[in-house]
Chain A
């Protein structure tokens, strides 16, 4: 009788683990889902291994890696915003254009208004957020599919960008009468020109006194902030709920309109934040800057394990996806593989990434691999048995009959 009544929770009745080990394991289990899928990390290791095997020290040194990540940082930041939108089952195709206009605005403000970066960056973020607000309002209030709205916005913003610039790129390295960079322009370089680090002279761990390259720092900060937003805040929960089942979210009291507008605004805000980085990186704002960046961003999100159907994914996963694309770029470049071949390879990688991230992927491979997959699944997905470790009392499914004994 007693064995019958509790079959649904066999793990729950497993002998309790020693308390010390339990808390560590419990904590670990709480963190693991955030980290995204194991497949992503395998991919990352493979790319790094490929780089080490073919180029060794040329690839694996701080300078090269910093450059590689720095070149991709603006797209990585876009991908973080894109993740938020995709989690709500939407898509934002306009982030590349938004980055373009933000980079143009930053260059124009520098050149014509001679502003400092503490004014330029927030203003660019405001510009991005306003366009994001327009995206969100059209999606949530007018109920147009986000694909259509942002496709239109992609063109509108690009048009404005080109009008602002008269189709000429605007350089950000301004030379004064003495033949040197103006102070404001020199300051602007810090935002992304390779070789200009910030926080130099501080005794930083790992990095020493060389300081840190701003785009890399910016990417890390954005990832940390938004991952915390997703996993710790009410708003983050609501994002997952809207993407997972919008009706259920609405009937559970989630303001779905607000959530949808907010994610588009945040995506715009981050695009605005990434714009000056891109302008500083290429030392000029090109009217075509950021074209097709949205596709890289979406690719990073997808490789990071998010589902375009919404409700599944994480920022850290997206970071892994971004790193895979970045390092792949770098490795292929170092090996002098032509741009055209690079495009083909990157395209195929996206498909491969989606295929291997299917939940039933391991099952399809056969019994031995299936066992491995099951272990991974229980570790990275929602791990069963957590309640047994965390709930204050032993497991629920036990009928009163047993409790009274």
Chain B
């Protein structure tokens, strides 16, 4: 939209200005972006071979593909992250060479990465204008102009936050929208979003979609990378499918079905995503019983408090923990696992009938508890080290011979896991950081399984991984329960919980607000229970939600 003018005046906080000159409104406008025969090779791997992609003005063009299919690589080329590639990129019919992120920015291409690129200790406004701060005549930073524009940009993405608030205090969903606002602060032709919803709860996804639609309505081309097919139904106009770095096809969203997309993406029809039958499993012994679990919250570390959480899991059972962000789901798992200081945790835990006091992760592993942590990169993996190193880390004691780690035993065990879990890796010594998200998650699972746990705590086990890998993980979970493990699983995706869990416990503000048996739960009932406390205790809870008080400030 009006790019000649906005290039000259980048301070212009666009948005409410007139819509794009050609192709107003949604629907097929002119072609903004055409990528032809893009090829990119990494040492030893051809990541992309001859991929085509077009985006029209006002279109939400989705890119779909399994992990490692090359979606992110393609978009990183567009954003100038990878300077050497072959193929042509045309922007508004003009051939361009994008060899640096700066060049991409000048062309009006913005990318919002899966891992957000905000400086947590700086304020929202400082993040938005980072590196492009407007100056006053005297050469100092023009704070007032920045604040004004920031407020306008934030309003445009539907945020009512004060621009001077530190980003650290904003929730993930808010940070996502701040990134969008940042992208809007320069003249924007094309916005690339890499899995923007992977960390968001359903309500927050809605809000993001509203913003995306509004942007598309203004003529911005949106490239939307996601694994969640149900989202694409809702938001995407067209879908480009990649598989193993190759272009498979492009469909208009209206003319395709979910089954077709899956088969394009996976290369084979996916029989059944969720392998669990409806028959209730044989009731095993209680593996874990948690009663009156209290946890002191810690605002500085962003840790929610728990108040009297009850939880029981039997052998062969999958128990789901539902709730909004900050409801204390992860905290429940981590408290059982012993990740918190002992003085912060109170309550009684019985493990296989015996009293158990969470002491440390080490202690938990020895007692047959394993945790698949929420953030695999930050909490689970040593990314620069090999698959072998990571998978065996928690179970090294099992591979000892004469006081040293027996490389042969270790290799055999890890290789077995690599085969069982079908981890796609060039070798056992390949760095985990080079694997795709789904395969990284499988390495995390391998690490847990090598400790031979009887209770597996899974925090968002399928976050940010593709359908194929998801199905495999569901299969694995089913298999584990069949062998008598108990699984407690946290997930933000309700369909996943509904399909996989024997029972679903709903948390809200650190309290259990409902418990459903398999078949009794519906998405609506779970959401009701998850918001329950907010409605009832609105006033009391408000400060913890960091909402109204601050909002007033920002409304000035």
Contacts and interface: CB of A to CB of B under 8 A. Distances in A.
A176 interface: no
Given A384-B426, A390-B415, A397-B424, A240 B382 contact: yes
A250 interface: yes
A180 to B, nearest CB: 47
Contacts of A234: 396-397, 400, 405
A254 interface: yes
Given A237-B389, A237-B405, A312-B384, A247 B427 contact: no
Contacts of B384: 244, 311-312
A255 B411 CA distance: 23
Given A1-B267, A234-B396, A237-B405, A11 B380 contact: no
A377 interface: yes
A378 B429 CA distance: 11
Interface string B374-399: 00001111111111010011101100
A233 B397 CA distance: 10
B329 interface: no
B422 A382 contact: no
B412 interface: yes
Nearest to B371: A251
* Chain A interface size, under 10 / 10 to 19 / 20 to 34 / 35 or more: 35 or more
A247 B430 CA distance: 21
Contacts of A393: 415, 419
B415 A9 contact: no
B419 A252 contact: no
Interface string A366-381: 0000000010011001
Given A11-B426, A245-B381, A252 B394 contact: yes
Nearest to A234: B396
B244 A4 contact: yes
Nearest to B362: A253
B376 to A, nearest CB: 9
B447 interface: yes
A5 interface: yes
B385 A240 contact: yes
Contacts of A8: 68, 244, 424-426
A399 B422 contact: yes
Interface in A238-284: 238, 240-241, 244-245, 247-255
Contacts of A397: 422-425
Contacts of B381: 245, 248
B243 interface: yes
A396 B419 contact: yes
Nearest to B364: A253
Given A4-B244, A391-B428, A247 B378 contact: yes
Contacts of A237: 389, 392-393, 396, 405
A88 to B, nearest CB: 12
Nearest to A359: B384
Contact of A387 (B361, B394, B418): B418
B382 A396 contact: no
B373 interface: yes
A240 B405 CA distance: 14
Contact of A244 (B43, B383, B407, B422): B383
Nearest to B392: A237
A248 B380 contact: yes
A252 B244 contact: no
A207 B447 CA distance: 48
Contact of A253 (B378, B394, B411, B425): B394
A384 B429 contact: yes
A34 to B, nearest CB: 12
Contacts of B430: 382, 384, 387
A390 B411 contact: yes
A232 B408 CA distance: 12
B362 A247 contact: no
Nearest to B436: A8
A211 interface: no
A200 to B, nearest CB: 34
B103 interface: no
B49 to A, nearest CB: 10
Nearest to B408: A390
Interface string B472-485: 00000000000000
Given A30-B407, A251-B380, A387-B427, 19 more contacts: A7-B245, A228-B404, A233-B404, A234-B396, A237-B393, A245-B382, A247-B378, A250-B361, A251-B337, A253-B360, A253-B362, A253-B366, A374-B43, A374-B44, A382-B427, A382-B431, A387-B430, A391-B411, A396-B423
13 contacts: A228-B404, A233-B404, A237-B396, A245-B378, A251-B380, A253-B361, A253-B365, A253-B451, A374-B43, A378-B44, A387-B418, A396-B422, A397-B424
